[in-house]
């Protein structure tokens, strides 16, 4: 998978998840371990910490929750794709600032 493909997949995913006026901020080629440092989220055991991934951040308001969970509004969503296969590993919504990039990145 190339970074431009991650960009397109994340834009499509954000639209599907009802992000209002989504705008891809950054596509960062990094490791899953580095993603966890930024997201501060729980780890999936099916992916190693040194696995090469693309972290894509998308700016745009989104409301998540419902059912048993209260509704929450977030300004940014993120999508983590396995670089070799292109599979979506995880996604989330956050108010965290854009991640710092110390690996290769692709911006539009």
Instruction: Label residue 31 by pLDDT band (50, 70, 90).
Output: very high
Stronger pLDDT, 44 or 12, i.e. the higher one: 12
Average pLDDT (24-28) is 92
Q: Can you give the pLDDT at residue 107?
A: 44
Would the pLDDT of 104 be above 60? no
CA distance 21 to 61: 8
Contact (Cβ atoms closer than 8 angstroms) between residue 41 and residue 90: yes
Instruction: Label residue 46 by pLDDT band (50, 70, 90).
Output: confident
Positive or negative, the CA dihedral 16, 57, 89, 73 is: negative
pTM for the whole thing?
Answer: 0.85
CA distance 106 to 30: 12
CA distance 99 to 101: 6
Class of residue 68 by CB neighbours under 10 A (exposed 0-12, middle 13-18, buried 19+): exposed
**What pLDDT, in 10s, does the model give residues 54-68?**
999 999 999 887 677
CA distance 24 to 44: 24
**What pLDDT, in 10s, does the model give residues 80-90?**
999 999 999 99
Tokens of 54: 């693309």
Q: Can you give the pLDDT at residue 79?
A: 96
Contact (Cβ atoms closer than 8 angstroms) between residue 6 and residue 56: yes
């Amino acid at each position: 998978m190339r970074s431009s493909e991650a960009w397109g997949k994340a834009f499509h995913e954000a639209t599907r998840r009802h992000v209002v006026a989504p705008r891809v901020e950054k596509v960062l080629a990094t490791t899953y371990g580095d993603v966890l440092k930024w997201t501060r989220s729980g780890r999936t055991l099916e992916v190693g910490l040194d696995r090469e991934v693309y972290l894509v951040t998308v700016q745009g308001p989104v409301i998540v929750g419902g059912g048993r969970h209260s509704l929450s509004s977030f300004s940014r969503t993120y999508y983590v794709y396995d670089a070799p296969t292109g599979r979506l590993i995880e996604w989330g919504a956050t108010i965290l600032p854009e991640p710092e990039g110390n690996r290769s990145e692709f911006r539009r």
